[in-house]
Amino acid sequence: MTLWGGRFSTSMDSTVWDLSESYSFDHVLYAYDITCSKAHVQGLVAAGLLSDDEGALLLSTLDQIEAEFDRGTFVRHPTDEDIHMAIERRATELAGDVGAKIHTARSRNDQVATTLRLFTRDALTQIARLCLELVDALVDLGERNHEAYLPGYTHLQRAQPVLLTHHLSAHAWALLRDVDRLLDARDRMNVSPLGAGALAGTSLPIEPSVAADILGFDAPFANSMDAVSDRDFVAETLFAGALVGVHLSRMGEELVLWTSAEFNFATLGEAFTTGSSMLPQKKNSDVAELARAKSGRLVGNLTGLLVTLKGLPLSYNRDLQEDKEPLFDSVRQVTLVLAAMTGAYRSLTFNADVARTAADDQFLVAIDIAEKLVEGGVPFRQAHERVGRLVGEAVANGVPFAEVVLSDPAYGSFAELFGPGAALERRRSPGASGPVAAMNQASRLDAARQAASSRL
C-alpha cells in the first residue's frame, strides 16, 4: 500500500515503479530529510497542530530512524518510493497515530525542495573548502621553489619567462573565483521552501519562519509556487562545479604536459601515478588525465538539468526528481578530483633546471630588446620590426640569437639582457611575472585567500 492508497484500487505496474522510484539514489539524503522533518515537527508544535508530547515523541522517533540509517540497519519496505516516504512510513510504524501526523501541512514537494537545499548548502561549503586546500597546495609548491622559473606560453609556443609562483598563482586566482562563486550560490539559495505544501501553502495555521530559523535559512519562501518548483540552486551548483571542473581540466592537461619526457618540467610522486599493465617503463599521470576528463561529465550534468528544467509548467512536476542524480554525481566527482589533484601537487617535484634552460631560450629576450629600444625613444612598432629582422636572420642562418644581436654595434650595451633570468627580472610592472611584482601579488593572493576562507 502506498501513502496515497486511499484514492487507488489498482496497484502500480512494476515498470512504473522501476521508472519512478528514487529511493535507490535519494536514500543518501536521509540525514537531511530527518533534519528537515524535525524542524517541521517543531513548526507543528509551535502552531498547536501537535502537542508538546506528540512533538517530543516524533523527535525521538526521528532520532531513532536516523540511528538505524547510521548503523545500516534501516530496512527499506517494498512500498518506499523515496527517502521521504520511507522515513514517514517508519515513523508511523514506530509512533503509531502520532507518526501518521508528521506529514500535516507538508507535501513531499516542499519537503524534497528543503531537503535538497540542505544537502546542497553543505556540498557547496565542502567543495569551496577543497578548492581552498588546492590553492594552499599551489602556493606551497611555489614557495618550495620560489626562485624557479619556466617559459610562459601563448598558443603553447614559448613566449616570455615567468616565475613558477606566478604561473601557479594564475590557477589559484581562478580557484579563488570558484570559491566566491560557490559561496555566492550558497548565499542565494539559503531560503526555506518548507511550508509551501504541494504548491499553494495550507489552510492550517503554520508559520514557515519557525522551521526556516531552525534550519539556519536566512528567510522562508515568499511564493509557495516558486518554492516547490525552483531548482535554480541545483543549476547554479552544477555550473559552479562545472567551472571548477573546467579549471581542473586545464591544470590536468598542464600536468600531463609537464610530466611528459618532452617537457620534463615536473615529476609526480609515485603514489599519484600509475603504471602500465604491459610497458614496464611507464609512469602515467592518470590523476591529471582524469581531472581533464571529468569536466566532460560535469558539463553534461549541467546541460542535462537545464534541458530538464526548460519549458516546465509551474509548479512541481515529477521531472524535478531528475535533479538529484546529476547533482550527486557532480558533487562527488568534483570532490574526488579536487582531493586527488591537491595530493598530486603536494607530491610534485618541479624540475627547475630543465624549466630554467627552456626559459633561458634566447628568443624569449626579443621583446626586452624591443622595449630597451623603446626606452631609447624608438617607436614600438619600429623596434618590433627591427628585432623581428634580427630573429629572422638568426633563424635563417642557424646562428644563436644573442650572437646576431650583439654583433651589431647598435646593440653593444644589450648583452646584459641575455644573462640568465635577466628577462624575468625585468618583468616588474604590477601583476607581472617577475620577482618584484610577485611579492605584491603574493600579499594580494593571501588576502583574497583569507577573505574567501572567512566566508566558509
Residue ranges that bind ligand ARG, judged by CB under 6 A: 22, 82, 108-109, 112, 316, 318, 320-321
Complex with ligand ARG: residue 151 or 197, whichever CB lies closer: 197
Under 8 Å between Cβ of 41 and 102? yes
Complex with ligand ARG: residue 98 or 228, whichever CB lies closer: 228
Complex with ligand ARG: residue 258 or 316, whichever CB lies closer: 316
Q: What's the gap between Cα 262 and its chain centre?
A: 31
Under 8 Å between Cβ of 291 and 337? yes
Complex with ligand ARG: residue 40 or 181, whichever CB lies closer: 40
Could you tell me the smallest distance in angstroms from the CB atom of residue 39 to ligand ARG? 18
Complex with ligand ARG: residue 90 or 426, whichever CB lies closer: 90
Decide if 276 is catalytic. Answer: yes
**Which residue is catalytic, options 60, 276, 407, 429?**
276
Could you tell me the smallest distance in angstroms from the CB atom of residue 217 to ligand ARG? 20
Complex with ligand ARG: residue 311 or 376, whichever CB lies closer: 311
Q: Identify the sign of the CA torsion 210, 212, 216, 221.
A: negative
Dist CA 381 CA 379 (whole Å):
6
Could you tell me the smallest distance in angstroms from the CB atom of residue 243 to ligand ARG? 26
Q: Identify the sign of the CA torsion 157, 177, 193, 95.
A: positive
Strand segments, DSSP code E, in 101-171 are 149-154, 157-163
**Which residue is catalytic, options 9, 155, 203, 443?**
155
Distances (CA, A) of 118 to 92, 199, 209, 455: 24, 20, 16, 18
Q: What is the largest CA-CA distance in the chain?
A: 101
Dist CA 150 CA 311 (whole Å):
50
Q: How many helices (H) and strands (E) does the chain have?
A: 18, 6
Q: Measuring CA to CA, which residue among 30, 45, 19, 9 is closest to residue 89? A: 30
Complex with ligand ARG: residue 25 or 414, whichever CB lies closer: 25
Q: ω before 315 within 30° of 0 (cis)? A: yes
Backbone dihedral angles phi then psi of residue 446, each to the nearest 5 degrees: -65, -40
Could you tell me the smallest distance in angstroms from the CB atom of residue 97 to ligand ARG? 24
- Residue 347's Cβ-side half-sphere holds a number of Cα atoms within 13 Å equal to 18
Distances (CA, A) of 68 to 34, 87, 160: 12, 11, 61
- Name the helix (H) or strand (E) containing 160: strand 157-163
Decide if 167 is catalytic. Answer: no
Could you tell me the smallest distance in angstroms from the CB atom of residue 113 to ligand ARG? 8
What is the set of active-site residues? Answer: 155, 276
